[in-house]
Amino acid sequence: MDVITSAAALRDRLQREPHNVFVPTMGNLHEGHIELIRIAKPRATCTVVSVFVNRLQFGPREDFDRYPRTLEADCARLKEVGVDVVFAPQEREIYPEPQTYVVEPSDLQHILEGAHRPGHFRGVATVVLKLFNLVMPRSAIFGKKDYQQYIVLRDMVRQFALPIEIIPAETVRAPDGLALSSRNNYLSPGERREAPRLYQVLCRARDEVAQGARDFRRIELEAMAELARRDWRLDYVAVRRQSDLQEPGADDRELVVLAAARLGRTRLIDNVEIAA
């Protein structure tokens, strides 16, 4: 496995691998990331993983500084699972000058996560386009835990006609249902015990919709009230169309219920798809 830190060395190494598959990450890898790599590996002869905590996608009061950086352990795990190339650049390699050209996603960037994290998807789309330009992968894998991120990037690739297949991967969960996330490390033991409730509440909402309920607003409000009773601070619970994350009509069938809420200092997001 080659661990590469410069863009020039990466291009040089990947000249020999025109058909690579790419898994972008911010490191602090867990089984969710490893699952993305398992999906990637059979698709190409060269699997590339980037590890880069992208300042551009963090708001001024978010956790950029305390985001866990565990490159040594990450590389050991990536080697075990047979990754070929790790790209772990310093910030100055990705942003050698202030990034004044950015990708401005559609209005999708302003709803749900975007309403609570202004500029987040601009930062994600900008760094992912830049990473795509460096890696030039044939395909790239993104977890559906970050559902809106997956939709934004899928649309970016389509709109800019990038020759890259975007492959979504199912969310990996702990045995008690909690979606795996690097931010779970911030939870205290008590919060960790409470955290699976987010998924349980989403599953109840999903079941109601799957059984035919169509008063989505009531379902969202009940889910939020249940979490609020347990001291969660809610950003949103929303039933949306899978295709574009807009509010569904009564005839829409392919839906997803998404949520974001804080437990103590930790902001968790999750979602479950509904085939109603």
Nearer to ligand PAF, 91 or 215 (CB): 91
Instruction: Give the nearest distance from C-beta 149 to ligand PAF in angstroms.
Output: 6
Q: How far apart are CA 202 and CA 205, in angstroms?
A: 5
Nearer to ligand PAF, 20 or 54 (CB): 54
Instruction: Give the nearest distance from C-beta 137 to ligand PAF in angstroms.
Output: 13
Contact 117, 59 (CB under 8 A): yes
The catalytic residue positions are 33
Instruction: Give the nearest distance from C-beta 178 to ligand PAF in angstroms.
Output: 17
Pairing of strands 254-263, 266-275: antiparallel
Nearer to ligand PAF, 149 or 266 (CB): 149
Nearer to ligand PAF, 146 or 252 (CB): 146
Binding site for ligand PAF (CB under 6 A): 24-26, 54, 57, 124, 127-128, 146, 149
Where do the DSSP E strands lie in 222-265? 233-241, 254-263
Pairing of strands 46-51, 85-87: parallel
Instruction: Give the nearest distance from C-beta 158 to ligand PAF in angstroms.
Output: 17
| Burial status of residue 183 (CB atoms within 10 A of its CB: 0-12, 13-18, 19 or more) | middle
| Burial status of residue 218 (CB atoms within 10 A of its CB: 0-12, 13-18, 19 or more) | exposed
